Amino acid sequence: MIFASWVVQGISGFGGGVFMVTLLSLVMNIKSAVLTFSFIQALGPLSILLVSKSYKPNMRMIFYLITGSFVGIFLGAHILKIISATYMEMFSGLFFISIGIFDSLFIFKNELLDLTSKIEIKHGFFVGVVSGVFSGIVGIGGPPAAIYLRNIVKEFDEYRYLISIYFVLMVGIRLFIYYILHAFSNVRYEYIAYWGVASVMGLWTGRFISRFINKRYLNLSVPFLTIICGILLIAKGLKSF
């Protein structure tokens, strides 16, 4: 499951965390899934940073994002501690459906997305808070930051480099906050090493496969599959009532 999720991430650059949470929640408690994969979540973007061309980041932009993310993750981690697994599944499902719908709109260049053209560097704090809240609860907060960076950074390689830096920093902040809030009681430590190996292998397998796949069809399929994941989680949550 971890390998397959990171293959998707390596191919499309998006969606690995969504599939990971959904698939793992079918065989284990969703809180355990989110907390445990947090330990290996930074391996993928970190490996990308190690082989990518470096860029000088806009420190003002990074400061806004990280400061906002710290606040958001702190709030999200508090919610994670008190929310039940059932409500967490339903919340995650709604979040995934919204990601899928918005990403579909982005791909089809819907007029609603003209709003994103007004995004400026100073909006980074608010974007960081939103990303942080979802990251703290669900373990996935990348989409708001990705939309923000897409509109600020025009070169794709620089965008990929900056989003990788952001992901690595955000995972580190999240683990620190989970630690000070004593939120690690559901972690399955025996899985971390195996999942770490599977994530790196999956990411690079996906990057290799992506050379032979039509990106247009791939971009169309990922939002659809993300929505399916959201529906599955909501159905699983409703079944528990």
**Mean pLDDT for the stretch of residues 17-27:** 84
Angle at 62 (CA atoms; ends 59, 67), nearest 5 degrees: 120
DSSP letter, residue 54: P
**Mean pLDDT for the stretch of residues 132-160:** 80
Question: Which of 39-48, 53-62, 112-121, 220-229 comes out lowest in average pLDDT?
Answer: 112-121
Side-chain half-sphere exposure of 93, counting CA atoms within 13 A = 18
Banded model confidence at residue 111, pLDDT cuts 50, 70, 90: very low
Question: Which of 38-42, 110-114, 231-235 comes out lowest in average pLDDT?
Answer: 110-114
* Between 217 and 68, residue with greater pLDDT: 68
Angle at 88 (CA atoms; ends 85, 91), nearest 5 degrees: 155
pTM, to two decimals:
0.81
Do 132 and 68 meet the contact criterion of CB atoms below 8 Å apart? yes
Banded model confidence at residue 119, pLDDT cuts 50, 70, 90: low
31-45, 64-78, 106-120, 189-203: which is most confident: 64-78
Q: Which of 92, 48, 99 is nearest to 222 (CA)?
A: 99
